[in-house]
């Protein structure tokens, strides 16, 4: 079925705007979408990349990518990737060609890198940022999906986040794109085939995070493989020869205390698991969809290790109505709340969470694959970019104004969607899959809504952003252009925010127990006396010239307003010294800082 492109023809702009205004007013109470209406929505994006100008650029890009891939393989004979799907970066594997030339066109920084995975394979990746912006920025690692999912289809998210002040890493998972198909030595078959074994999307997420946090003083060395083998020698040899990167080339920009993960499909399972397991991570966004690593058996796809994993950090799920878009012809699901069930488990565990459903959306909303077979809506990718950015801004960047965007009701009355699909009334939130949010606001209050499509008290009508906000104007704008106000009707002036609530830390250090064997145990208590959550509190401890410490960096984690978290460490006196040990503890989190000093007598 071909889409009805009404917004471009005789209806005229005035008629479209009138229809949008009338329809959006009653969208929440409209009858549920029919299968035929949802099927038509899957034709919206294919109409975008079948346009003559786009198609011709895609052909040119495919040729250039294929030639480059052949040259890469020829000049690096130790590698083997050309037999894989998407190895040449042609056709659908090219991603959105409008995003090409990010650095060359003055849009930002894009650095191609190579590094060795824990199974010995070479991973192809990019690091993204902007030349403008803060000296230190939060980090986001994006994990691709499986099979036809190299990094290029996810550049929409990488470039949008980079423009919003993040350092971002995207990569081809091992066995996909231009990453090696096999590991090395005893680990040649570890994780092969990625779709079957699943290791790639778990181990690969953590490997990419390790690389992103590498520096010249602590160069990247892969963790042991599942067989226990280490491939650091391979990494060093390749970096010494100039064939791999010894460390993240944009390491100076990375704030290691603010880290987020995002992933799609099998990659969504990977980031759901690693995000809860790895203490460096502050928040997770899962594109179709979030899983629960704490359940037994876990709801995640196979591949994770060390489970069950307790839930720890906020996690957002963004889901589609169907996989290919054709399944909607079978009718609505028996339980519209089923895809939000995992999000409710997070809420039950006291972890902020949400599940956002895209009306008529397919599994390919989140991976831009310019081929007719990969059906998707026109605005689903913009909705995904909006919620991804707002979620990470809130829980990773620590931006108290992110609530204004996260709680916005704009996707119930989207003007562009209404022009493409008048019957939907501009409400892009699914009526076949429940959309919900359960989060603590920056002011300390709580927002809980179990039906965002219908709307709830506390949502924001004026979010201060452009009416037709979308990722493309942000990604393609020149470096230095404000990101979160970009839109297809040009930048919109945001209303000045009111006084922002903030966390306030109080720190207490006390001696626990008696001094034995030249050692004393200290207990550190961190209390949040402010009105906003301190999402990631980190303690840094020094012991002066006389002290040796069991821990010098402690990640305390999330401290809610009025709550106290504790940590302990052991202090010993250095050999050859005498007298008391001066211990200094510095706590930091979401811009709040506190320092406490304690003199400890150690016999």
Domain 6-475 homologous superfamily, CATH: Alpha/Beta hydrolase fold, catalytic domain (3.40.50.1820)
Q: How many CB atoms lie within 10 A of CB 459?
A: 17
C-alpha to C-alpha distances, 206 to 457, 600, 601, nearest whole angstrom: 39, 38, 41
For residue 197, name the pLDDT band (cuts at 50, 70, 90).
confident
- What are the residue ranges of helices labelled H in 336-379? 341-348
Q: How many CB atoms lie within 10 A of CB 290?
A: 31
Query: Tokens 């996260």 identify what position?
Result: 406
Q: What percentage of residues in the chain have a pLDDT greater than 90? A: 69
Q: How far apart are CA 112 and CA 95, in angstroms?
A: 16
- Non-local CB neighbours of 321 within 8 Å, separated by 6+ positions: 38, 328, 357, 358, 359, 360, 361, 362, 430, 432, 433
Q: How far apart are CA 408 and CA 333, in angstroms?
A: 27
Q: DSSP secondary structure string, 1-54? A: -----GGGTTTHHHHHHHHHHHHHHTGGGSPPPPHHHHHHHTTHHHHHHTSHHH
pLDDT tens digits for 100-136? 999 999 999 999 999 999 999 999 999 999 999 999 9
**544 pLDDT more than 90:** no
- CB–CB of 169/245 below 8 Å? no
Q: Which two tokens stand for residue 523?
A: 């207990």
pLDDT tens digits for 217-254? 999 999 999 999 999 999 999 999 999 999 999 999 99
Q: Which two tokens stand for residue 159?
A: 């470039």
- CB–CB of 249/103 below 8 Å? no
3-state secondary structure of 219: coil
C-alpha to C-alpha distances, 526 to 31, 210, 240, 506, 598, nearest whole angstrom: 51, 28, 44, 6, 15
pLDDT tens digits for 25-68? 444 445 789 999 999 999 999 999 888 899 999 999 999 999 99
Segments making up each domain of the chain, as ranges: 6-475, 505-600
DSSP classification of residue 365: G
Q: How far apart are CA 257 and CA 590, in angstroms?
A: 10
Residue 98 sits at the vertex; the CA angle it makes with 94 and 104, to the nearest 5 degrees, is 95
Q: How far apart are CA 486 and CA 492, in angstroms?
A: 7
pTM score: 0.80
| CB-based burial, 68-106: b 16+ in 10 Å, e otherwise | ebeebbeebeebebeebebbbbbbbbbbbbbbbebeeee
Q: How far apart are CA 24 and CA 412, in angstroms?
A: 7
- Reduced 3-state DSSP string for 221-270: CCCCCCCCCCCHHHHHHHHHCCCCCCCCCCHHHEEEEEEEEEEECHHHHH
Nearest to 163 by CA among 482, 492, 467, 382: 482
Please provide the CATH number assigned to the domain covering 505-600. 2.60.40.10
Query: Tokens 């007013």 identify what position?
Result: 25
For residue 569, name the pLDDT band (cuts at 50, 70, 90).
confident
For residue 499, name the pLDDT band (cuts at 50, 70, 90).
very low
pLDDT, average across residues 278-307: 94
pLDDT tens digits for 442-486? 999 999 999 999 999 999 999 999 999 999 999 999 999 876 554
């Amino acid at each position: 079925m071909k889409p009805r492109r009404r917004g471009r023809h005789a209806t005229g702009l005035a008629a479209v705007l009138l229809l949008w205004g009338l329809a959006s007013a009653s969208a929440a109470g409209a009858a549920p979408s029919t299968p035929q209406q949802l099927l038509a929505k899957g034709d919206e994006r294919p109409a975008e990349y079948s346009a003559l100008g786009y198609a011709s650029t895609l052909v040119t890009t495919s040729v250039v990518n294929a030639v480059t891939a052949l040259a890469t393989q020829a000049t690096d004979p130790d590698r083997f990737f050309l037999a894989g799907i998407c190895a040449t970066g042609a056709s659908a594997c090219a991603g959105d060609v409008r995003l090409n030339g990010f650095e060359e066109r003055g849009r930002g920084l894009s650095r191609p890198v190579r590094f060795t995975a824990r199974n010995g394979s070479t991973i192809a990746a990019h690091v993204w940022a902007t030349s403008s912006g803060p000296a230190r920025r939060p980090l986001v690692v994006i994990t691709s999906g499986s099979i036809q999912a190299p990094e290029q289809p996810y550049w929409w998210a990488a470039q949008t986040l980079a423009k919003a002040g993040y350092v971002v890493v995207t990569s081809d998972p091992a066995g996909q794109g231009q990453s090696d198909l096999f590991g090395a030595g005893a680990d040649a078959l570890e994780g092969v085939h990625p779709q079957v074994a699943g290791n790639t999307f778990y181990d690969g997420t953590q490997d990419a995070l390790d690389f992103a946090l590498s520096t010249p003083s602590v160069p990247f060395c892969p963790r042991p493989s599942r067989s226990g083998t280490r491939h650091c020698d391979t990494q060093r040899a390749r970096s010494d020869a100039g064939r791999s990167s010894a460390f993240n080339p944009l390491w100076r920009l990375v704030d290691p205390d603010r880290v987020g993960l995002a992933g799609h499909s099998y990659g969504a399972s990977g980031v759901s698991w690693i995000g809860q397991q790895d203490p460096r991570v502050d928040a997770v966004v899962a594109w179709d969809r979030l899983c629960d690593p704490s359940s037994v058996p876990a709801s995640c796809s196979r591949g994770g290790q060390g489970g069950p994993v307790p839930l720890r950090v906020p996690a957002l799920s963004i889901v589609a109505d169907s996989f290919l878009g054709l399944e909607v012809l079978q009718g609505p699901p028996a339980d519209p709340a089923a895809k939000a069930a995992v999000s409710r488990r997070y809420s039950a565990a006291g972890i902020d969470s949400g599940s956002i459903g895209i009306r008529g959306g397919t599994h390919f909303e989140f991976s831009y694959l310019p081929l007719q077979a990969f059906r998707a809506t026109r605005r689903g990718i913009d909705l995904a970019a909006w919620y991804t950015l707002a979620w990470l801004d809130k829980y990773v960047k620590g931006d108290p104004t992110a609530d204004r965007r996260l709680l916005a009701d704009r996707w119930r009355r989207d003007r562009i969607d209404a022009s493409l699909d008048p019957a939907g009334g501009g409400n892009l939130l699914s009526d076949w899959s429940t959309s919900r949010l359960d989060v603590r606001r920056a002011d300390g209050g709580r927002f809980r809504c179990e039906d965002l499509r219908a709307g709830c008290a506390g949502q924001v009508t004026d979010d201060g952003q452009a009416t037709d906000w979308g990722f493309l104007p942000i990604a393609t704008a020149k470096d230095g252009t404000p990101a979160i106000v970009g839109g297809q009707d040009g930048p919109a002036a945001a209303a000045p925010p009111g006084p922002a609530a903030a966390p306030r830390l109080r720190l207490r250090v006390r001696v626990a127990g008696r001094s034995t064997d030249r050692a004393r145990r200290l207990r550190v208590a961190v209390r949040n006396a402010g009105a906003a959550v301190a999402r990631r509190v980190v303690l840094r401890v020094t012991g002066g010239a006389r002290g040796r410490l069991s821990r010098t960096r402690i990640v305390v984690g999330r401290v809610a307003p009025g709550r106290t978290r504790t940590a302990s460490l052991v202090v010993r006196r250095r050999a050859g010294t005498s007298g008391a040990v001066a211990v200094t503890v510095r706590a930091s989190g979401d811009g709040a800082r506190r320092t406490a000093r304690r003199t400890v007598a150690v016999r």
